[in-house]
Amino acid sequence: MKKIVIEGNQTLSGTINIDGAKNSAVALIPAAILSDEFTTIYNVPNISDKNVLINILKDLNCQVLETDNILNINSSSLKNVLIREDLTSKLRASYYFMGALLGKCKHVEICLPGGCNIGARPIDYHLKGFEQLGAKITIEDNKYIIDAKKLEGAKIYLDFPSVGATINIMLASVKASGTTIIYNAAKEPEIVNVATFLNNMGAKITGAGTSKIKIEGVEFLHKGIIEVIPDRIEAATYIIAGALVGNNLKINGVIKEHMESLLSKLSEMNVNYKLKDFELTISKTDNMKPVSIKSQVFPGFVTDMGQPMSVLLTQCDGISFFEETIYDNRMGHVKYLNNMGADIKVKENTEIICGKTKLQGKKVIATDLRAGASLVLAGLVADKTTEISQIDHILRGYANIVEKLNNVGAKVKIVDE
Ligand code: EPZ
């Protein structure tokens, strides 16, 4: 077991380059198998979730060549075998092999997906979507068997604009006969990235990035390339680090349109930042104003930024509120931030954060990915040393986090527990 050790109170300056988005890459890799030729994915982040998905591809007899941040995937000799639980349980996004294999082979056998423990995470919208396309679903012990004689385009209305269901239905319907329309689709940038990849292979998808996506089925998907978009959650995490302990810290790879909700809150708080082209420069700001934030689907304030943002709110002068509306149990960070000296009360799904409080380094536990990110941020601004255990959660989603932070002046290391 490893832990991250952070010496607090160091000033960060220099440049942090943002890697490809985890939540795009984890969908693009399964999407690659839909090509009847081969595909190349650029700017793939060096995260452990990627390694698990590559292992699934290898189990499916796909050829995978990885050089630096580029993945070449050839699925022409694909063998449609059961996707094992020891792999599926490591991440939520293993469920994108449901849509991809259903779309390609009309048959999938896959064990239950895993992912962060942040509340109930049903996949009923995905399954209903597959059924509407003509699939039959059987659940046997710990596995789903999804089978279709024929996939036919359908009009599918999502009860909630789910990111995963929108992508999975696109993957399953891209080779169906006829036209599929997804109403109340999710609009997140990662969905546009996946649709662009499929269109590069010859798919006919329009409307990605809006709430109505139209997919005209095609018979063949040729070779395709795609670049993973920058990770807006990784960018947000380092932007918050800059607001806490930065001195002209530069974050390179910020797409303004993907981050409006965060940037407008930072302005409301009087945080000192400048964005030019794709580079954001940020410094520690004294006298930050408290704010109220509510997580929402894109373009609202993304739930994944909530836990990191809580740390910044502990440093505002006054009472801030963060209401989590997407997940029912995304408060794993609160206990540990309070151990470090924060004053956060949780009422239903709202954090009430009283600032400003001085944080002290402590031994803490990363209960999930973004909780872990929030503890790294707290460690950067705290006095003395913070030791974070269960760091596998953090390494699932933050590429080279230790190197990136140390390059800009932090004192962070990974050691054996
Ligand atoms: C994606 O999860 C992300 N994960 C999450 O990021 C992110 O928090 C979430 O989208 C929202 O933006 C990946 O992309 C791998 P949803 P996903 O389906 O697709 C309910 C991170 O920290 N729902 O949009 O699983 C669900 O319970 C992670 O990087 C159903 O009820 O999220 C939730 O309340 C964590 N039935 C809401 O919808 C369904 O069939 C949104 O979920 C599907 C979802």
Question: What percent of the chain stands above pLDDT 70?
Answer: 100
Query: How close is the Cα of 20 to the center of ligand 1, in Å?
Result: 19
pLDDT confidence tier of residue 414, bands split at 50, 70 and 90: very high
What's the confidence (pLDDT) of residue 211? 98
pLDDT digits (tens, 9 = 90+) for 382-393: 999 999 999 999
The stretch 233-262 carries a mean pLDDT of 98
pLDDT digits (tens, 9 = 90+) for 264-304: 999 999 999 999 999 999 999 999 999 999 999 999 999 99
Are the CB atoms for 292 and 353 separated by under 8 Å? Answer: no
pLDDT digits (tens, 9 = 90+) for 21-76: 999 999 999 999 999 999 999 999 999 999 999 999 999 999 999 999 999 999 99
pLDDT confidence tier of residue 323, bands split at 50, 70 and 90: very high
Q: Identify the residue whose C-alpha is closest to ligand 1 atom 43.
A: 123
Arithmetic mean of pLDDT over the chain:
96
Q: Is there a catalytic annotation at residue 116?
A: yes
- DSSP structure string for 292-335: EEEB-STTSB-GGGHHHHHHHHTTSSEEEEEE--S-S---TTHH
What's the confidence (pLDDT) of residue 374? 98
Q: How far, in Å, CA of 398 to CA of 417, rounded?
A: 20
Can you tell me which atom of ligand 1 is nearest the CA of 370? 22
**Conformation bin of residue 293: beta by default, left when phi > 0, alpha when psi is -120 to 50:** beta
Query: How close is the Cα of 337 to the center of ligand 1, in Å?
Result: 24
212, pLDDT greater than 80:
yes
Q: Identify the residue whose C-alpha is closest to ligand 1 atom 8.
A: 304
Are the CB atoms for 156 and 182 separated by under 8 Å? Answer: yes
Are the CB atoms for 13 and 248 separated by under 8 Å? Answer: yes
What's the confidence (pLDDT) of residue 20? 98
Can you tell me which atom of ligand 1 is nearest the CA of 327? 34
pLDDT digits (tens, 9 = 90+) for 109-139: 999 888 778 777 889 999 999 999 999 999 9
What's the confidence (pLDDT) of residue 141? 86
pLDDT confidence tier of residue 83, bands split at 50, 70 and 90: very high
307, pLDDT greater than 80:
yes
Handedness of CA 291, 294, 298, 302 (dihedral sign): positive
Counting ligand 1 atoms within 8 A of each CB, the residue from 116, 163, 295, 369 with the most, and so the one to mutate, is 163
Four-point Cα dihedral 158, 159, 165, 169, nearest 10: -20
* Cis check: omega of the bond before 106, within 30 degrees of 0: no
Q: Identify the residue whose C-alpha is closest to ligand 1 atom 17.
A: 164
Q: Identify the residue whose C-alpha is closest to ligand 1 atom 19.
A: 164
What's the confidence (pLDDT) of residue 115? 77
pLDDT digits (tens, 9 = 90+) for 153-196: 999 999 999 999 999 999 999 999 999 999 999 999 999 999 99
Residues with a CB atom less than 6 Å from ligand 1: 22-23, 26, 92-93, 116, 120-126, 160, 162-165, 186, 302-304, 326-327, 369-370, 397
What's the confidence (pLDDT) of residue 116? 77
Query: How close is the Cα of 164 to the center of ligand 1, in Å?
Result: 6
Are the CB atoms for 287 and 317 separated by under 8 Å? Answer: yes
Q: Calculate ∠ Cα 351-254-273, nearest 5°.
A: 70
pLDDT confidence tier of residue 308, bands split at 50, 70 and 90: very high
What's the confidence (pLDDT) of residue 120? 77
Give the closest residue to 360 by CA, choosing from 11, 7, 13, 12.
7
Q: Identify the residue whose C-alpha is closest to ligand 1 atom 6.
A: 304
* Cis check: omega of the bond before 299, within 30 degrees of 0: yes
The stretch 221-230 carries a mean pLDDT of 97
